[in-house]
Amino acid sequence: MFDFEFFAPTRVVFGRGVEARTGRLLKELGVSRVLIHYGGGSVVRSGLLDRVAASLDEAGIAHTQLGGVVPNPRLSKVREGTELARQFGAELILAVGGGSVIDSSKAIAYALAEPEYDVWDLYAQKRTAKACFPVACVLTIAAAGSEMSNSSVITNEETGEKRGCRNNLCRLKLAIMNPELTATLPAYQTAAGCTDIMMHTLERYFTQGGNMELTDRIAEGLLRTVMKNALILQDDPANYEARAEVMWASSLSHNDLTGLGADGMDFVSHGLEHELGGMFDVTHGAGLSAVWPSWARYVYRDCLSRFVQFAVNVMDVTPKADDGETALAGIAALEDFFRSIHMPVTLKELGVEPTEEQILAMAASCARGAGGKKGTAKVLYEADMAAIYRMAL
Ligand code: NZQ
Ligand code: ZN
């Protein structure tokens, strides 16, 4: 087992109706002025925003609101939110929504804490944050895991770059998680969310070394649980137990738990998807399923024992005489699962058909964003990334 540090400081309050306690829980954090940040309107239509605002009123917490965060959240909205929060004197950003709203909130929180710098510098990897305002959330979709992760991802619409920033300073103080709130999700978003949850563990699973028996069993259990419940939600979207399993998996899959003791994290599929998100504005989880099978077939020989273990322990493949065949059967089985929940497994199915010029631009940007190379299953360079995009067409 490789040495590791595990830091999961987020207070999680989980269950039916817990959003009614938002005001009191924030009060316990000692804040009295809050910016409520939300997305394109689902929380308005469901009445959640009003309920959360009422809970803050009851607790005597002053608040202002800013909606309009879009999936693949934009830098311009971060700047607008920063200005509003500053004028209002907000002491905490409360995200009411999913990964996009939480990430926009984290970026605002960084900007508020260090007003002398341009917040985009953090995402362009030009500097490291030294401070961050507190952030909390009322989660409405199980997917990105931003509620417990140290990451946020912002798109600079001026440059078309979608970039992540990882830093423990942005980990949420409080995550309020009621699985019932996710029952209004369109089926496509539920499935894309389940895909993203699985991918956060898969990105940690395909590594080169380290004995991590317990971590592996946690990872495999999480993957199997998400697959099982994603299928249940296809037919029964209001199933509370399935919603609850998936929501908790969302947090555990990206709070580092499922990779502890490994020799690193791969995250190449995420890197490739972020370029698709920046250029074509695709749904994150769907972009991931569209590139993963091609990535897997490109790298599996260099990480064979892990792909075999995955095939047998997660996808229930009966081992074949040849390890390569077993690995490929595992990849095909996950591809079939993605199809079964109506997720794309090629770029065409995703609805994008990049030109060769666009492929080269995405590969160059992906490699540049990663400092030239990326990956633990197999270290990949710009030419490899372009090859995977071509395989995924
Ligand atoms: O904007 P509204 O109207 O709320 O609609 C949203 C949005 O259209 C809708 N939605 C959310 N909850 C709903 C609902 N609709 C009905 N009922 C509900 N209860 O779902 C759509 C997607 O929301 P979004 O927040 O974009 O989803 P997700 O949580 O998947 O977040 C995606 C973003 O997170 C980033 C992705 O790249 C993408 O930008 N990621 C962030 C990570 C992190 N911070 O740790 C890690 C991930 O790998 C990922 O990169
Ligand atoms: Zn993701």
pLDDT of residue 254: 98
Residue 3 belongs to some domain of the structure? no
φ and ψ of 236, to 5 deg? -135, 70
Please name the residues in contact with 322: beta carbons below 8 A apart, sequence gap of 6 or more: none
What is the pLDDT averaged over residues 29-58?
98
Residue 5 belongs to some domain of the structure? no
pLDDT of residue 137: 98
pLDDT of residue 22: 98
- For the chain, counts of helices (H) and of strands (E): 16, 8
Q: Are residues 292 and 152 in the same domain?
A: no
Q: How confident is the model at residue 209 (pLDDT cuts 50, 70, 90)?
A: confident
The per-residue pLDDT for range 130-186, each reduced to its tens digit, is 999 999 999 999 999 999 999 999 999 999 899 999 999 999 999 999 999 999 999
Which residue minimizes the CA distance to atom 18 of ligand 1? 185
CB-CB contact of 386 with 273 (8 Å): no
In which domain, by residue range, is 314 found?
A: 187-392
Over the Cα atoms of the chain, what is R_g? 20
| % of the chain residues with pLDDT over 70 | 100
Q: Are residues 202 and 171 in the same domain?
A: no
The runs of H, that is alpha helices, within 115-267 are 120-123, 187-205, 213-235, 240-253
What is the pLDDT averaged over residues 318-346?
98
Measure 149 CA to ligand 2 centroid, in angstroms: 11
68 lines ligand 1 (CB under 6 A): no
Q: Are residues 176 and 195 in the same domain?
A: no
What is the pLDDT averaged over residues 8-13?
98
Q: Which two tokens stand for residue 97?
A: 């929504």
Instruction: Tell how far CA 24 is from the center of its chain.
Output: 28
Distance CA 93, CA 20 (A): 18
Q: Are residues 304 and 384 in the same domain?
A: yes
Residue 2 belongs to some domain of the structure? no
Residue 76 belongs to some domain of the structure? yes
Indicate the residue among 147, 181, 215 that finishes a domain. 181
Residue 157 belongs to some domain of the structure? yes
Q: How confident is the model at residue 64 (pLDDT cuts 50, 70, 90)?
A: very high
Indicate the residue among 132, 152, 181 that finishes a domain. 181
Residue 151 belongs to some domain of the structure? yes
Q: Are residues 244 and 117 in the same domain?
A: no
pLDDT of residue 107: 98
* HEC string for 255-278: CCHHHCCCCCCCCHHHHHHHHHHH
Measure 13 CA to ligand 2 centroid, in angstroms: 23
Residue 30 belongs to some domain of the structure? yes
Q: Return the DSSP state at 65.
A: E
Q: Are residues 120 and 236 in the same domain?
A: no
CB-CB contact of 206 with 269 (8 Å): no
Q: Which of 100, 196, 266, 280 to mutate to test the pocket of ligand 1 (most atoms within 8 A of CB)?
A: 100
CB-CB contact of 291 with 388 (8 Å): yes
Q: Are residues 225 and 345 in the same domain?
A: yes
Domain count across the chain: 2
Q: How confident is the model at residue 383 (pLDDT cuts 50, 70, 90)?
A: very high
pLDDT of residue 74: 97
Q: Are residues 104 and 17 in the same domain?
A: yes
Indicate the residue among 181, 216, 247 that finishes a domain. 181
Q: Are residues 211 and 119 in the same domain?
A: no
User: Cβ of 360: how many Cβ atoms within 10 Å?
Assistant: 16
Measure 383 CA to ligand 1 centroid, in angstroms: 31
pLDDT of residue 224: 98
Which residue minimizes the CA distance to atom 47 of ligand 1? 144
φ and ψ of 168, to 5 deg? -60, -20
Q: Which atom, in ligand 1's list, is nearest to the CA of 43? A: 4
CB-CB contact of 262 with 143 (8 Å): no
Q: Are residues 46 and 111 in the same domain?
A: yes
pLDDT of residue 272: 97
Residue 4 belongs to some domain of the structure? no
Q: Are residues 365 and 234 in the same domain?
A: yes
270 lines ligand 1 (CB under 6 A): yes
Which residue minimizes the CA distance to atom 16 of ligand 1? 185
Measure 99 CA to ligand 1 centroid, in angstroms: 4
What's the one-letter identity of residue 190?
T
**CATH number, domain at 146?**
3.40.50.1970
- Sign of the alpha-carbon torsion through 113, 117, 118, 122: negative
Residue 378 vs residues 190, 323, 347: alpha-carbon distances, Å? 30, 17, 22
Q: Are residues 206 and 159 in the same domain?
A: no
Instruction: Tell how far CA 371 is from the center of its chain.
Output: 21
Q: How confident is the model at residue 210 (pLDDT cuts 50, 70, 90)?
A: confident
